[in-house]
Chains A and B, each alone.
Chain A
């Protein structure tokens, strides 16, 4: 753009004409377009960085909740059937307190309390969270799929979390806990 202006001025100088003009509309439009493209790129880069950071923090919280639940289940083997039944249901609503936290509880009551503790934690830490308990695609046993932020807790050819071979989709917000 600047080279063009210099050329025009040179021609005018050669012709003996002293002429000076401002910035034309096309130049202004091009400058604004360049500015818009640059800003758009910056905004997109920043948004993606934020999303990646948020996804990493959220995934860590999901893993911590699932790790805690896995240990609770292992410590309460007699509550297994209650765990399985409760996980087969949709995510229960959050509860105000854990009745078995400081009280003596039988295995079934403790299993129910553990499920509610997990559900409360997931609901507190993850947006739009859901779970699905189903046979694992790529391993014996059953898998607890926990998905959040709009990802479907499902697997298979049309799965939102895992594909048909049991691999997690690259952009899926979900974690999987392998259970016996």
Chain B
């Protein structure tokens, strides 16, 4: 017996169609999974970046004003050029600058990595600028130190702490009146008050965007209200997130 059976044309066609369908499904699944993974990774990265920066600012807010001084350095005329201010012209919406100071009672590193000796006053200035390391804006920190006679190192470009920052906003909560009434002001309002008011809290807003480009544009709906701003929804191939956090200034 000499029997030889090949594969009929119909079987070939059927196998090809099934194979094609399986391949298409696999490609669609991989593409969708990649898109989903990218989006989720960005979301988590932005959440972690925001949390990291807010935690860092919170640690400084706890110390600001320590050593019987104004937490925002409003009491030191040597620092007048570097005080907290709003609408610096960089960022969208235009970002603010935050300057904090405290007396150092144990040796520590400032935000630029310089060791500060006991007895000095550490001044840190947080602001938004461009940087060669990232295409957008970065949140930078410039640190300096003061003693009884002079202040040094303050006023340079500082170091970039966080990339992909769209905006950095700060409001200042005044000490409550005898009736418990509290007002939050921006930096220019705060600096126009005489005598220099006591500040009990900070409210910091941070608008971040993802570092990676997604495969498709996605609509981001901002919160209804963000530190007094009504942000518009954005169609963008990057993820976005708005953070806001209130900090107590225990030494304010």
| Residues of chain A whose beta carbon lies under 8 Å from any beta carbon of chain B | 17-22, 46, 50, 53-54, 56-57, 60-61, 64, 67-68, 71-72, 74-79, 94-98, 100-107, 110, 117, 120-121, 124
Contact = CB atoms under 8 A, between A and B. Distances in A.
Contacts of B2: 18
A169 to B, nearest CB: 23
B243 A64 contact: yes
B227 A101 contact: yes
B1 A104 contact: no
B88 interface: no
Given A95-B224, A120-B223, A64 B246 contact: no
B230 A97 contact: yes
Interface stretch (B46-54, B101-109, B111-119, B133-141): B46-54
Most central of A57, A98, A110 by chain B CB within 10 Å: A57
A15 B41 CA distance: 63
B183 interface: yes
B147 to A, nearest CB: 33
Interface residues of B, number: 45
Contact of B180 (A54, A76, A102): A76
B47 A61 contact: yes
Given A20-B5, A95-B224, A104 B181 contact: yes
A103 B183 contact: yes
12 contacts: A20-B4, A46-B33, A68-B246, A75-B173, A76-B182, A95-B224, A102-B185, A104-B181, A104-B183, A106-B180, A106-B181, A107-B182
Nearest to B50: A64
Interface string B234-252: 0000000001111110000
Given A50-B40, A76-B182, 8 more contacts: A18-B1, A19-B3, A61-B47, A94-B224, A95-B224, A97-B230, A102-B228, A120-B223
A67 B243 CA distance: 12
Given A20-B4, A71-B247, A101-B225, A57 B182 contact: no
A71 B40 contact: no
Contacts of B48: 60
B218 to A, nearest CB: 15
A45 to B, nearest CB: 11
A64 B245 contact: yes
A5 B248 CA distance: 77
Contact of B245 (A21, A67, A98): A67
A18 B36 contact: no
B171 interface: yes
Nearest to A103: B183
Given A64-B243, A75-B200, A106-B180, A97 B225 contact: yes
A93 to B, nearest CB: 11
Nearest to B201: A75
Contacts of A97: 224-225, 230
B225 A106 contact: no
A117 to B, nearest CB: 8
A57 B40 CA distance: 8
Contacts of B245: 64, 67-68, 71
Interface in B172-225: 173, 176, 179-186, 200-201, 221, 223-225
Contact of A75 (B185, B228, B246): B246
